[in-house]
Amino acid sequence: MATVRNVYLFAKTAVFKVRAINVPRRTVSQVTHKHFRSAVGCGSVAKLVGLYNSYSTGRRPPSSTSSSSVGLADELLAAKVQPDPRVADDGDPDSDKDKEEKEKVNRTLKWTFISFGVMITGMGSFLLWSCGSPEVGPDGNPIIDEFSEMPVIQQYLLRTWKGMNDMNRMIQEPSRDKLLPDPVKPPYIQPPYTLVLELRDVLVHPEWTYETGWRFKKRPGVDFLLHHCGPPLFEIVIYTNEQGFTAFPIIDHLDPNGLIWYRLYKDTTRYVNGKHVKDLSCLNRDLEKVICIDWDTDAVSSPRNHLKLKRWDGNMNDQSLVELGLMLRTIAESEVSDVREVIDYYRTFDDPLAAFRENQRLAQEQELAVKQRVEEEHQQKKFTSSIISSFFRRN
């Protein structure tokens, strides 16, 4: 009896294993109990063990004369090996729906490429027609140029190529050869020196806050710099990489008194290696009298005329422009013949303003020492003269 109970437990375990292969629960239960009762009725323990092994391993049970045993194995095998519904009858792994989607994608790509081809062809034809056609004179007749004797297609291609080169040169080169007008002649006043100032991070600093959005902060000491370095010592020029529509109202706000004589914007810079460079040789001024103030070393074409200033980050306690004004005024009042020699000296320091401040301190100490020595000599001479005069009076 204990052996039969153990075999029953084995058969029950096989039922759970058979359920794991998605055989309907009712079918497995009916078939299993039928075969179990048959095996128990026959009193065959070996048959029960074979039934358990066939259920647990998925193998076909041993052949038997009983038709129920053969039917059970066939049912289990048919339930375990189910055909894949995703595979079509003809053996193609792609379903009809996938084929339709692929065909739709292919049609979309095809028409997309066709549309791009038509658009590019149309744009190229319009470019050749607009840029390659000869110029027309006031009388309506075409103007003869160096391409007029060539075939028509070659004419249009070469004129288009020339127009593209002219456009590229217009972007890279300054908008005009002379950025400033010629110096004025007497009786008008022409300052002897030219001061070129960058706007961004030298005079103002852009800042964004939730309350105000984007705004430009005015650097402390701007008014002092303009008043102490303005005419008649310097003609002040704003030369910035900003666009004109951005910089123009800012300069109006900084200089209500008109101390800034000229304004130059991004279109007057030279585009070199991906950067807009200030070409001082186009200023129409003697470079021996030009001082350019900027924080970017690569933004000035003439390093000898560039006096580098530290980039302002918006600190309202900064006093660099006050020191700069004193330094520039000292240079102008000293009537330096070539400012580049002075800039060459101060360019050797990381902070030119600190170096100038130290030189001013040393100069004041030397001046004070000279004044004291002169006073001492004067007192000594006075004492000597008083002794001599008293000696002659006694005699």
Q: Cis ω on the peptide bond leading into residue 232 (within 30° of 0)?
A: yes
| Residue scoring higher pLDDT (318 or 154) | 318
**Amino acid in the structure at residue 265:** Y
pLDDT, position 392? 63
Asked whether the beta carbons of 264 and 176 are under 8 A apart, the reply is: no
- pLDDT over threshold 50, residue 17: no
Sheet with 234-239: strands ordered across: 260-264, 234-239, 193-197, 290-294, 306-308
Report d(CA 128, CA 120) in Å as an integer: 12
| Residue scoring higher pLDDT (392 or 107) | 107
Among 48-52, 79-83, 270-274, the minimum mean pLDDT is found in 48-52
In the chain, the N- to C-terminal Cα span, in Å, equals 165
Asked whether the beta carbons of 315 and 216 are under 8 A apart, the reply is: no
pLDDT over 70 for what percent of the chain?
Answer: 74
pLDDT, position 158? 85
Confidence of residue 7 (pLDDT cuts 50, 70, 90): very low
Report d(CA 199, CA 239) in Å as an integer: 7
Domains of the chain and CATH, by start? 2-80 (no CATH), 112-172 (no CATH), 193-348 (3.40.50.1000)
- pLDDT over threshold 50, residue 313: yes
pLDDT, position 279? 93
Report d(CA 134, CA 143) in Å as an integer: 6
pLDDT, position 23? 45
| Residue scoring higher pLDDT (362 or 59) | 362
pLDDT, position 2? 46
**What's the mean pLDDT in 242-251?**
92
- pLDDT over threshold 60, residue 90: no
Q: What is the pLDDT of residues 349-382, one digit of tens each?
A: 989 999 999 988 898 888 888 888 888 777 777 7
| Residue scoring higher pLDDT (130 or 281) | 281
Is the four-CA dihedral 362, 366, 372, 375 of positive or negative sign?
negative
- pLDDT over threshold 50, residue 65: no
Among 65-79, 102-116, 242-256, 329-343, the minimum mean pLDDT is found in 65-79
Q: Which of 319, 321, 309 is nearest to 347 (CA)?
A: 309
Q: Compute the mean pLDDT over every residue in the chain, rounded to the nearest whole number.
A: 79
Over the range 277-309, which residues count as b (16 or more CB within 10 Å of their CB) and which as e?
bbbbebbebebebbbbbbebeebbbbebbbbbb
pLDDT, position 88? 45
pLDDT, position 274? 83
- pLDDT over threshold 80, residue 87: no
Asked whether the beta carbons of 275 and 296 are under 8 A apart, the reply is: no
What pTM was computed for the model?
0.61
Among 44-48, 103-107, 199-203, the minimum mean pLDDT is found in 44-48
Confidence of residue 272 (pLDDT cuts 50, 70, 90): confident
pLDDT, position 64? 46
**What's the mean pLDDT in 172-188?**
89
Confidence of residue 343 (pLDDT cuts 50, 70, 90): very high
Structure token pair of residue 141: 């007749």
Structure token pair of residue 351: 């902070």
Confidence of residue 73 (pLDDT cuts 50, 70, 90): low
- pLDDT over threshold 60, residue 8: no
Q: What is the pLDDT of residues 247-266, one digit of tens each?
A: 999 999 999 999 999 999 99
